[in-house]
């Protein structure tokens, strides 16, 4: 099978040890692109496995960014002039 890929770079900032992870929006956009490519089924097995692995790393990074943001929201809720820890209830 042949495939058209946007990038043949083996690693990005999200996968290199010690490198700063890309921002949440960029990581999410890259993850969406990877999912679309995998769903088309046009990649070779090697490319599909590499992209899947990278997608898992991006998803984990996005999950961590969301957890960090949730903790910041919990810590920054202010009441009576005092910052206090408060639970976070996401809107559904």
Contact yes or no for 88/76 (Cβ under 8 A): no
Ramachandran bin of 16, using left for φ above 0, alpha for ψ from -120 to 50, beta for the remaining angles: beta
pLDDT at 90: 65
pLDDT tens for each residue of 43-81: 999 999 999 999 999 999 999 999 998 888 777 766 556
pLDDT tens per residue, range 1-32? 444 444 434 334 444 444 444 599 999 999 99
Confidence of residue 39 (pLDDT cuts 50, 70, 90): very high
Task: Dump the DSSP string for 8-47.
Answer: --S--TTTSTTPPPPPHHHHHHHHHHHHHHHHHT-S-HHH
Residues 3, 47 contacting (CB under 8 angstroms): yes
Q: Which pTM value belongs to this model?
A: 0.60
Give the distance from CA 49 to its chain's centroid: 17
């Amino acid at each position: 099978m042949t495939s058209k890929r946007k990038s043949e770079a083996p690693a990005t900032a999200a996968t290199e040890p010690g490198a700063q992870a890309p921002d949440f929006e960029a990581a999410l956009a890259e993850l969406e692109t990877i999912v679309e490519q995998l769903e088309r089924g046009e990649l070779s097995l090697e490319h599909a496995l590499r992209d899947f692995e990278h997608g898992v790393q991006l998803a984990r990074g996005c999950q961590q960014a969301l957890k960090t943001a949730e903790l910041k929201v919990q810590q920054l809720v202010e009441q009576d002039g005092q910052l206090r820890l408060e639970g976070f209830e996401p809107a559904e």
